[in-house]
């Protein structure tokens, strides 16, 4: 009998046996019940949500609020909805985002400091507790599709490696889809991107810009959702890299602003102030606060300094205009699909005031400037400002000018220039007073409760089995149809780097702390010695008149209120620079030597052996064919970093870039022959101390092939967002790769066995 025949006989026997016992089985086995499949639907008629967050934009930068950058998308949304001129952020990036997405005060979430400068205090650790769930998680559990595109900056440094854990990445915080960058900044032309938790390269081809890519990904996702589930509402969070440094924007956008800022920052601030009054976004009796003594007058600059500074501001305004145009594309896609009328668009114009971190001179390498290195001997190259070749940032005085009429800017939580940002909310189906202005006090923690109120979902007591902390924000929906309604958010504290303030019933008490923001090493002092100021914002819109001497009792009352709020929200103890980065997990704390294999991508610098201000080396084993070329390993980017690679002629090359001050390139005199090889890089630190130079050698199979001298080396991390990668150079390029190379210049024509990084 053939196997198939035996099977047929056996199968027939089984069928006969089952038939014989069928009645008995029917009497003893209960009937199967349908599986309980539960997929919770959103409330009927629930609107879609588009939440837009820009980066480092001052109150008076966008044309909608009197600024020089033309923002027609924001203008159109304002005409369809409401403008808020007393809306506040936290004065710095990560805390604002934590507060925005949870509805809580930032320190209560564990993210009271920017992620790169977290410390072990519970309110500053950067470790987002699950007792303050995100809006995305709540909406996802209530029938919404959720996606985030752009900047995240909410994951602690020690959880950024490819080993995770990933529950504090966007896809672990309620977003079903994520495409963007995880850290605080990235190149706009060659970004360091992730899709979900996977490191990816930007799409190939010329003319790429990140803001355009994020907009297109948003549109593609919207179309996909509408095609497959047209009745399911969505929550789309679009957080652009613009206009955080590096200021990088297509050249044709820069040309639109040529010559617009030759009059300088003092004149620009006065012009913005006048337009703000004409538009009615500030009261007619508001005062323009004076330029701080730490910032220079425009007329004190040399002609060359004015030329460089004006060009920086041209790029800055262009970047904001270009960013707004991309938001406009997403809004247009909603209109084209018929979804716009029932979409709540919340457009937060900046996660803090304009950034002062560009320093007094501005820079084409702002990280170099923050560290304290001098300008390059040849000065700033005008033709590189705003391009992929530079890591540009405007002068602090330009930022101050665009924060008009308020004093100071980003990180200055004691000043409205740091915490007052424009807000526009549009919802054609739900807002009747189109084009209206609202003056009630609002805070970034109000956005989540506002959206839950609109949708009709109460803030949950538990999420995924975890009891939730109270929601600190207040829904702004009460203001939609009542422009004169009394404000409901009557108390709010602010704190960044020890700079702090308290708002209560129209009064604002504040205490500055530390050095100006463009000094990376903040001068620390006893917070108890800080001088407090007092302002009555009911009659003093711009924080112009200190009343501390006249009303000491009111000031003392508010100081005590700040202490109570600080105690309740994990703000205490107040501290400055001395406590930064103390007591947190460090994946590289005892790492003297590490071996990396092909597939090691997206490794943050913080997870590598610490090599700054010391001798160290690289050893790479590889196999090469006659066509071998591409990156063996690289870290950092166009601003600063190193890359070991084979060029198009198959020579081994090591390139080390120390910002725009020095670039050292070592190259073997002959091509690498086919076969197995070991490439060795040795950096003998010249030290001692900070950023000393090094003698550098490039060896092949134990023989030195090239050597050179670095006058200085990076004193800490090369960059904020670029990563270490084996087999390609993700993000902006460190090496001088072939002009026709695809993004990343991946290693081809052979195999990489391993790459070792060794402290010496």
d(CA 111, CA 125) in angstroms, rounded, equals: 6
- Residue 170 structure tokens: 């966007």
Indicate the pTM of the whole model.
0.94
Whether 453 and 465 share a structural domain: yes
Whether 606 and 729 share a structural domain: yes
Predicted pLDDT of residue 521:
55
Share of the chain above pLDDT 70, in %: 94
Residue 445 neighbours by CB distance under 10 Å: 28
Predicted pLDDT of residue 522:
55
Whether 489 and 511 share a structural domain: no
- Cα-based angle 546, 549, 551 (whole degrees, multiple of 5): 90
Q: Which of 522, 547, 579 is the last residue of a domain?
A: 579
Please check whether residue 166 lies inside any domain of the structure.
yes
d(CA 585, CA 640) in angstroms, rounded, equals: 26
| 473-495 confidence digits (pLDDT tens) | 999 999 999 999 999 999 999 99
CATH number at residue 447: 3.40.720.10
| 565-596 confidence digits (pLDDT tens) | 999 999 999 987 666 667 899 989 889 999 99
In the predicted model, is pLDDT for residue 333 greater than 90?
yes
Give the SS3 label for residue 695.
Answer: strand
φ/ψ (deg, to 5) at 47: -75, 160
N residues, the chain: 760
Please check whether residue 239 lies inside any domain of the structure.
yes
Predicted pLDDT of residue 17:
38
Q: Which of 440, 464, 494 is the last residue of a domain?
A: 494
Whether 399 and 341 share a structural domain: yes
Whether 519 and 412 share a structural domain: no
Please check whether residue 707 lies inside any domain of the structure.
yes
CATH number at residue 720: 2.60.120.200
Whether 545 and 482 share a structural domain: no
Predicted pLDDT of residue 523:
56
| 450-471 confidence digits (pLDDT tens) | 999 999 999 999 999 999 999 9
Predicted pLDDT of residue 175:
98
**DSSP-derived pairing of the beta strands 82-84 and 436-438:** parallel
- Residue 135 structure tokens: 């809006």
| 707-743 confidence digits (pLDDT tens) | 999 999 999 889 989 999 999 999 999 999 999 999 9
| 373-418 confidence digits (pLDDT tens) | 888 888 889 999 999 999 999 999 999 999 999 999 999 999 999 9
Share of the chain above pLDDT 90, in %: 87
Predicted pLDDT of residue 5:
33
Phi-psi region of 275 (alpha: psi -120 to 50; beta: other; left: phi over 0): alpha
| 12-53 confidence digits (pLDDT tens) | 333 333 344 344 444 555 677 777 767 789 999 999 999 999
CA distances, 205 to each of 194, 248, 692 (Å): 18, 18, 39
Predicted pLDDT of residue 7:
33
Whether 362 and 348 share a structural domain: yes
The arithmetic mean of pLDDT across residues 532-540, rounded, is: 98
Please check whether residue 18 lies inside any domain of the structure.
no
Please give the full DSSP string across 217-241, using - where no structure is assigned. HHHHHHHHHHHH-TTS-EEEEEE--
For residue 637, count CB atoms less than 10 angstroms from its CB and return exposed for 0-12, middle for 13-18, buried for 19 or more: buried
Whether 489 and 379 share a structural domain: yes
d(CA 348, CA 419) in angstroms, rounded, equals: 12
Residue range of the domain that includes 567 = 495-579
For the chain, give the mean pLDDT.
93
Please check whether residue 650 lies inside any domain of the structure.
yes
* Contact partners, residue 240, CB within 8 Å, separation at least 6: 52, 53, 54, 55, 150, 151, 211, 214, 323, 326, 327
| 631-675 confidence digits (pLDDT tens) | 999 999 999 999 999 999 999 999 999 999 999 999 999 999 999
Whether 680 and 717 share a structural domain: yes
For residue 688, count CB atoms less than 10 angstroms from its CB and return exposed for 0-12, middle for 13-18, buried for 19 or more: exposed
Residue 186 neighbours by CB distance under 10 Å: 27
Q: Residue 627 belongs to what H/E stretch?
A: strand 616-636
Its sign, for the CA torsion 476, 482, 484, 486, is negative
In the predicted model, is pLDDT for residue 336 greater than 60?
yes
Q: Which of 494, 527, 545 is the last residue of a domain?
A: 494
The confidence band for 687, taking pLDDT boundaries of 50, 70 and 90, is confident
**DSSP-derived pairing of the beta strands 87-88 and 177-181:** unpaired
CATH number at residue 534: 3.30.1120.10
Whether 597 and 648 share a structural domain: yes
d(CA 735, CA 747) in angstroms, rounded, equals: 13
| 491-530 confidence digits (pLDDT tens) | 999 999 999 999 999 999 999 998 888 876 555 678 889 9
Q: Could you tell me if 672 and 681 are in contact, meaning their C-beta atoms sit under 8 angstroms apart?
A: no
d(CA 191, CA 606) in angstroms, rounded, equals: 19
Whether 476 and 529 share a structural domain: no
Predicted pLDDT of residue 578:
63
Please check whether residue 8 lies inside any domain of the structure.
no
Its sign, for the CA torsion 686, 690, 696, 700, is positive
Predicted pLDDT of residue 13:
39
Q: Could you tell me if 246 and 368 are in contact, meaning their C-beta atoms sit under 8 angstroms apart?
A: no
d(CA 64, CA 61) in angstroms, rounded, equals: 9
Predicted pLDDT of residue 582:
74
Give the SS3 label for residue 621.
Answer: strand
The confidence band for 121, taking pLDDT boundaries of 50, 70 and 90, is very high
Q: Could you tell me if 395 and 361 are in contact, meaning their C-beta atoms sit under 8 angstroms apart?
A: yes
Q: What angle do helix axes 303-336 and 210-228 make, rounded to 10 degrees? A: 10
Predicted pLDDT of residue 576:
74
Please give the full DSSP string across 462-479, using - where no structure is assigned. EETTEEPPPP----GGGG
Q: What is the DSSP letter of 391?
A: B
Q: Residue 385 belongs to what H/E stretch?
A: none
The confidence band for 124, taking pLDDT boundaries of 50, 70 and 90, is very high
Please give the full DSSP string across 418-440, using - where no structure is assigned. HHB--EEEE-TTT--STTEEE-S
Specify the number of domains making up the chain. Answer: 3
Whether 406 and 536 share a structural domain: no
Please check whether residue 23 lies inside any domain of the structure.
no
Q: What is the DSSP letter of 38?
A: -
Please check whether residue 429 lies inside any domain of the structure.
yes
Q: Could you tell me if 700 and 678 are in contact, meaning their C-beta atoms sit under 8 angstroms apart?
A: yes
In the predicted model, is pLDDT for residue 6 greater than 70?
no
């Amino acid at each position: 009998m053939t196997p198939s025949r035996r099977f047929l006989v056996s199968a027939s026997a089984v069928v006969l046996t089952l038939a014989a016992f069928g009645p008995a089985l029917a009497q003893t086995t209960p009937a199967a019940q349908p599986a309980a499949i539960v997929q919770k639907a959103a409330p009927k008629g629930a609107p879609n949500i588009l939440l837009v967050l820009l980066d480092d934009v001052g109150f008076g930068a966008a044309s909608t609020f009197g600024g020089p950058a033309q923002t027609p998308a924001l203008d159109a949304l304002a005409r369809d909805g409401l403008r808020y001129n007393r809306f506040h952020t936290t004065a710095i990036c990560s805390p604002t985002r934590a507060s925005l997405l949870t509805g809580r005060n930032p320190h209560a979430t564990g993210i009271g400091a920017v992620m790169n400068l977290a410390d072990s205090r519970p309110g500053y650790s950067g470790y987002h507790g699950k007792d303050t769930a995100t809006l995305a998680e709540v909406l996802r559990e209530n029938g919404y599709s959720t996606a985030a595109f752009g900047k995240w900056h909410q994951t602690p440094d020690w959880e950024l490696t490819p080993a995770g854990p990933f529950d504090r990445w966007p896809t672990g915080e309620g977003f079903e889809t994520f495409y963007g960058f995880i850290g605080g900044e990235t190149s706009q032309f060659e970004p360091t991107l992730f899709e979900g938790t996977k490191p990816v390269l930007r799409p190939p081809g010329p003319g790429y810009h990140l803001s355009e890519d994020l907009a297109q990904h948003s549109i593609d996702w919207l179309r996909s959702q509408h095609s497959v589930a047209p009745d399911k509402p969505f929550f789309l969070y679009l957080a652009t890299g613009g206009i955080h440094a590096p200021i990088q924007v297509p050249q044709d956008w820069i040309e639109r602003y040529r010559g617009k800022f030759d009059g300088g920052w003092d004149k620009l601030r006065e012009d913005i102030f006048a337009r703000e009054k004409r538009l009615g976004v500030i009261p007619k009796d508001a005062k323009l606060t004076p330029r701080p003594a730490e910032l220079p007058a425009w007329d004190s600059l040399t002609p060359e300094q004015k030329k460089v500074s004006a060009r920086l501001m041209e790029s800055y305004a262009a970047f904001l205009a270009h960013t707004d145009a991309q938001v406009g594309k997403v809004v247009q896609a909603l209109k084209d699909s018929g979804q716009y009328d029932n979409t709540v668009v919340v457009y937060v114009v900046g996660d803090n005031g304009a950034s002062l971190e560009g320093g007094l001179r501005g820079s084409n390498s702002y990280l170099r400037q923050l560290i304290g290195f001098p300008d390059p001997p040849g000065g700033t190259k005008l033709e590189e400002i705003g391009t992929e070749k530079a890591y540009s940032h405007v002068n602090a005085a330009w930022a101050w000018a665009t924060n008009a009429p308020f004093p100071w800017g980003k990180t200055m939580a004691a000043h409205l220039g740091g915490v007052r940002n424009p807000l526009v909310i549009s919802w054609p189906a739900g807002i009747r007073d189109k084009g209206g202005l609202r003056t009630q006090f609002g805070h970034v923690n109000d956005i989540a409760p506002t959206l839950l109120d609109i949708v009709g979902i109460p803030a949950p007591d538990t999420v995924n089995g975890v009891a939730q902390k109270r929601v600190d924000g207040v829904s702004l929906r009460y203001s939609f149809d009542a422009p004169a309604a009394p404000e409901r958010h009557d108390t709010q504290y602010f704190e960044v780097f020890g700079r702090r303030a308290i708002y209560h019933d129209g009064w604002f008490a504040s205490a500055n702390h530390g050095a100006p923001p463009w000094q990376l090493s903040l001068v620390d002092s006893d917070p108890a010695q800080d001088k407090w100021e007092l302002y009555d914002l009911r009659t003093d819109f711009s924080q112009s008149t200190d009343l501390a001497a006249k009303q000491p009792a009111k000031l003392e009352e508010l100081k005590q209120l700040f202490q109570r709020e600080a105690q309740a929200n994990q703000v205490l103890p107040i501290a400055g620079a001395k406590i930064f980065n103390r007591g947190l997990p460090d994946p590289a704390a005892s790492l003297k030597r590490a071996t990396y294999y092909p597939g090691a991508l997206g490794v943050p610098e913080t997870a590598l052996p610490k090599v700054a201000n010391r001798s160290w080396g690289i050893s790479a084993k590889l196999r090469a064919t006659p066509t071998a070329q591409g990156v063996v390993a690289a870290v950092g980017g166009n601003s600063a970093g190193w890359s070991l690679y084979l060029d198009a002629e198959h020579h081994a090359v090591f390139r080390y870039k120390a910002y725009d001050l020095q670039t050292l390139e070592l190259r073997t005199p002959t091509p690498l022959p086919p076969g197995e090889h070991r490439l060795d890089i040795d950096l003998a630190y010249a030290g001692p101390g900070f950023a000393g130079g090094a003698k550098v050698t490039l060896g092949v199979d134990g023989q030195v092939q090239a050597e050179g001298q670095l006058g200085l080396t990076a004193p800490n991390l090369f960059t904020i967002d670029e990563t270490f990668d084996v087999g390609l150079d993700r993000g902006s390029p460190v090496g001088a790769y072939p002009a026709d190379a695809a993004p990343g210049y991946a290693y081809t024509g052979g195999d990489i066995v391993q790459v070792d990084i060794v402290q010496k």
